[in-house]
Structure formats: structure tokens, C-alpha cells
Amino acid sequence: MTQQVPLFINGEFCQSRSEQWIPVTDPATQDVICEVPCATADEMEAAIASAKEAFKTWKEVPVSERARLMMRYQALLKEHQEEIAEILAKETGKTFEDAKGDVWRGIEVVEQAANVPSLMMGETVENVARAIDTYSYIQPLGVCVGITPFNFPAMIPLWMFPMAIACGNTFILKPSEQDPLTPTRLAELFVEAGAPKGVLQVVHGGKDQVNTLLTHPEIKAISFVGSVAVGQHVYKTGTDHMKRVQSFAGAKNHMVIMPDANKQQVINNLVGASVGAAGQRCMAISVAVFVGAAKEWIPELKEAMAGVRPGAWNDASAGYGPQISPQAKARILSLIEQGKQEGAECLLDGSNCQVEGYPNGNWVGPTLFTKVKPEMTIYKEEIFGPVLSCVEADSLEEAIGLINASPYGNGTSIFTASGAAARKFQHEIEVGQVGINIPIPVPLPFFSFTGWKGSFYGDQHAYGKQAVRFYTETKTITARWFDSDIPAGGVNMTINLR
């Protein structure tokens, strides 16, 4: 029988009673790996009730104990990194090395969650008035929710629930229905690390299950990563129901190439940033802006991209894996065709890509367009595939104006040998994450992931200090004690710090 993915409710992995199951397929073969349930209304209510009940005791657990749970968890994740990566690679199609990177970036966030005591420190001012002190506490919200995408099934859940739980909240994770086995393994290891019953729940499903979480009165905060349309729905629905929401949506990331940059470094970095992970990452570079004479490097870029080929997860020589689904592949091929019809020049066409031994895989080869204009569909839409569009600009000012006109602002980068050009770019660009001679500027977790404009809806961003602020509320106390209240003989207290 096909493996059926369990729910994780009230500290137990349990078989769903759902009558609706979604097949999970290997994107390289279309073979069914497992089936994932659409949780029933009763199962959703049970998960929410369990999280609410667990919050009553978890919020009282000392912050140092919560931090030690995260220390144990990150040690287990490191111990099982390759095992998790293999599960992840098989269900997403990522190459094994790429999958290991997915897991490792999540581990780094768990390490940051282990530092939560220092991140939850409040503020104190003595004598704001005569004999009156004011101080603030950082306190958890309650039941929080994470809705995560298919493209990083380890990293993005680990962006969310460790930070939220370390802050004293309980958490309900609704991972992508396209690769549920990785989050299930993450939950198993969290239990092994000593997570108390009910602190984490994992439910599965689609739009109905998501809407239950967005509208339920017991849910206090929602974290989401995914497409533009769903991200807008999550943000609007969640905030309409008076919830705190952070919603990471689409992207169209540009890389500016100045003519004084190191040519080989540009080509090497641009190839990996555009086709790596099959282009299925929100920080992928999908537009290269060649300034002035830098456009002369495009033929060499084409040659380098042509040398990259997709392959199965365990093919060490493969540059990247398949698209996640036949539907995703079909959409990419349609956009490639539309680019040709709208007048862009397709220098390298991956539409008919085949991988030996995997005739049914969702393969798209590296694709390179030149003569791309801002009004073209391939320029405006997030393709989410191994497709790079080349645009030419006469000056850095023109390149900055082009990027700032985009409705998205997730990431951008510039390659240059000029400190002045880099300084101007980083100051004037209207994008949340900027790389200088770095193609994909994803910050380490002691900073925050800070998309702008149509790439993010909300106020506080993911991981780092902003995540702590998102998952907590600040309470400010103003206190006065009268000398007449001091008992005769003073105070004798014994404090147990164990």
C-alpha cells in the first residue's frame, strides 16, 4: 500500500480520518511516493485546541529551558542532516548537495532560536519620576501558525516554529502538500529533542485547511511563504480577522553587471544564481542587467549556461533537479514560448530538455533570453524556473531606475569593482536585500530576511530580532513602592535558580 502521511496532533502521530487524500509524486519519475491527507474539520479543531491548552503551561517554562530544547534540537538536526536531505531530495527532486544546504540553513535558524534569552530582554529605566521605575517585558502571543511552500521544506518550517516556540508560543505547521515527508521528519526529531506534548502540531491539506487557520479566533499570528496570489489572500484574510501576519510572496530579482566587474566571477555566479535549484527559489536571479560594455559577455554566459544540465537527486554531476510538478513545467514552457512571441531572442532554449533514464521527469533546461523589454511577460512575471532574461542599460542610474520600477523588492545584487558604484546602488535601490559581488544575498539568521514592496506583506520579517518581535508582545510596567511598606527587620528570601 502507498504510504500515508500522518498528522501530528496533541503530541501523537495519528492517521487522518479524511476521505480526501493528495498523491505526492517524485518529480523525476511521476511515481507516487506517498499520500497526504486533507485534515478534517474535527482534526483541525483538535490541533488548535491542543495548541491552546499547551500554551497555558509552555509560556510558564523558563526561557533558559526553552533555549536548551533548541540546543538539543539543533544537535539532532546536525546528526541527521544527510538523512533529512535524502528525504527532501527524493520528494522535491533537488540535488543531494542542494538538499543538504536546505537543511543546513534551517539548522542555523534553530541555533539562533537557542539564543532566545538575549533576544527577549526588555528595557528598564529607573526613576522615570521620583521613586517610580518603568520597565518592559517581552511575552508570547499564544497559538501561532506557519504555512510553508514546497521549495524549501526544511529551511522555511525551521524559519518559523523554532523561533515561535522558543519565544513561548505554541505552533501549528501546515506544510506544502507537495513534499510533506520532510516536515514530518522535522517534527519527529523535535519530539526526540524533548518537546512537550502539544507545543507543535502538524496538519495537512489545501485551501480549506488554510482558511480554517486564517479565520479561527484562537490563532494569534500567521507566517506564510508562497506565491503572490496566495500571499495576498493570506495577508488580507488574516488581518481581516484581526491576526498578526507576515506574508512573503513573489519576486523578480535583478543582478546589475557593471563593465568594471570581474567577468569570470560574474558568469560563474550568474549561472548558479539563475538556474540553481531549477530556479525554484524566491531569491533566484531571473534578470541580468548589463551596463554598457558588459553586454559583450553574454555569448560567454550562454556557453557557461549550456554546460549545466539537470538530473536526478543522486546524480553528482547534475547542476539541478526537475521542476516540482508537470503543471509547474507546463507554466514555464508557456512563458518561454510567450517570450519568443513577444520578440525576445532566445539564445538558449531548454524547452525540450530530456534526461536519460527519466523520460517522465519535469525537466526544463537552462534558458537564456536577450533583447528583453520591461513590457514583456517574461520580464514582468516570476517564472520560477531556470530562465534568465538579459536587459541592457546605458548607465548605473538607468539600471537602478529599472529595478525600482519593479513591483517586487525581494533581492538584488551588483557586481562591480567600484566602491562608489556599490555605495550608490545599496543606498538608492528600493529592495530589501542587497548583494555586492554576491548574487543571492540571503542573510544569516542573526539578521532578518527583509523583502520589500510586493514581495512582502506585513511589518516584522522572518528570523533574527524581527521574528522575536513578530512572535511576541511588549508589556510596559510602571511601578512605585512606598518606604512605609518595608517590613520591620527587612526581607528574607531564598531563591531557587535550578
Q: Please classify residue 363 by burial: count the beta carbons closer than 10 Å to its beta carbon, then call 0-12 exposed, 13-18 middle and 19+ buried.
A: buried
What confidence score (pLDDT) does residue 496 get? 58
| Tens of pLDDT, residues 166-197 | 999 999 999 999 999 999 999 999 999 999 99
Between the alpha carbon of residue 77 and those of residues 66, 104, 154, 169, 418, the distances in Å are 17, 9, 10, 21, 41
- The upper half-sphere exposure of residue 151, i.e. CA atoms within 13 Å in the direction of its Cβ, equals 19
Name the active-site residue from 34, 144, 167, 282. Answer: 282
Residue 392, Ramachandran bin (φ over 0: left; ψ between -120 and 50: alpha; else beta): beta
What confidence score (pLDDT) does residue 492 get? 58
What confidence score (pLDDT) does residue 491 get? 56
What cell numbers appear for 1 in the block?
500500500
The Cα 345–Cα 169 span in angstroms is 52
Q: Does an H or E element contain 170, and which?
A: strand 170-174
The Cα 77–Cα 63 span in angstroms is 21
Contact 57, 45 (CB under 8 A): no
Dmax over CA atoms of the chain, in Å, equals 90
282 is catalytic: yes
What confidence score (pLDDT) does residue 22 get? 98
Contact 74, 107 (CB under 8 A): yes
Q: At what angle do helices 155-166 and 63-79 cross, to 10 degrees?
A: 160
Which residues are CB-neighbours of 319 under 8 A, at least 6 positions away?
A: 95, 275, 276, 308, 309, 310, 311, 366
**DSSP code, position 485:** G
| Tens of pLDDT, residues 389-446 | 999 999 999 999 999 999 999 999 999 999 999 999 999 999 999 999 999 999 999 9
Question: Alpha-carbon Rg of the chain, whole angstroms?
Answer: 25
| Tens of pLDDT, residues 268-290 | 999 999 999 999 999 999 999 99
Instruction: List per-residue pLDDT tens for the chain, 498 residues long.
Output: 789 999 999 999 999 999 999 999 999 999 999 999 999 999 999 999 999 999 999 999 999 999 999 999 999 999 999 999 999 999 999 999 999 999 999 999 999 999 999 999 999 999 999 999 999 999 999 999 999 999 999 999 999 999 999 999 999 999 999 999 999 999 999 999 999 999 999 999 999 999 999 999 999 999 999 999 999 999 999 999 999 999 999 999 999 999 999 999 999 999 999 999 999 999 999 999 999 999 999 999 999 999 999 999 999 999 999 999 999 999 999 999 999 999 999 999 999 999 999 999 999 999 999 999 999 999 999 999 999 999 999 999 999 999 999 999 999 999 999 999 999 999 999 999 999 999 999 999 999 999 999 999 999 999 989 999 999 999 999 999 998 878 877 655 555 555
Residue given cell 512606598 in the structure block: 482
pTM comes to 0.95
Coil, strand or helix at 313: coil
